[in-house]
Amino acid sequence: MKGISYITDQRNNKKAIVIDLKNLEQNEEEIHEFIDVLVAESRKNDELIPWDEAKKTLKAKDKL
């Protein structure tokens, strides 16, 4: 994507991104979608919690 650069480690693994602020202003929705995809990708191996259990925990914390 134009205006986005990656910072990599010695093994060329992507570690961070830099977003050109001009690009952010012009393509804000696309950048937000890009970030959402990055977050989803980083969590793809997280443990899944059944909705009933999550709802119970949220209610106990008065968050739902």
pTM for this entry: 0.53
Mean pLDDT, the chain, whole residue set: 89
Percentage with pLDDT > 70 across the chain:
98
Mean pLDDT, rounded, for 1-25: 86
Q: Which residues of 28-57 are buried (b: 16+ CB within 10 A; e: fewer)?
A: eeebeeeeeeeeeeeeeeeeeeeeeeeeee
- Average pLDDT on 26-46 reads 88
Domain coverage including residue 33:
4-60
Q: What percent of the chain has pLDDT over 90?
A: 55
Domain count, the chain: 1
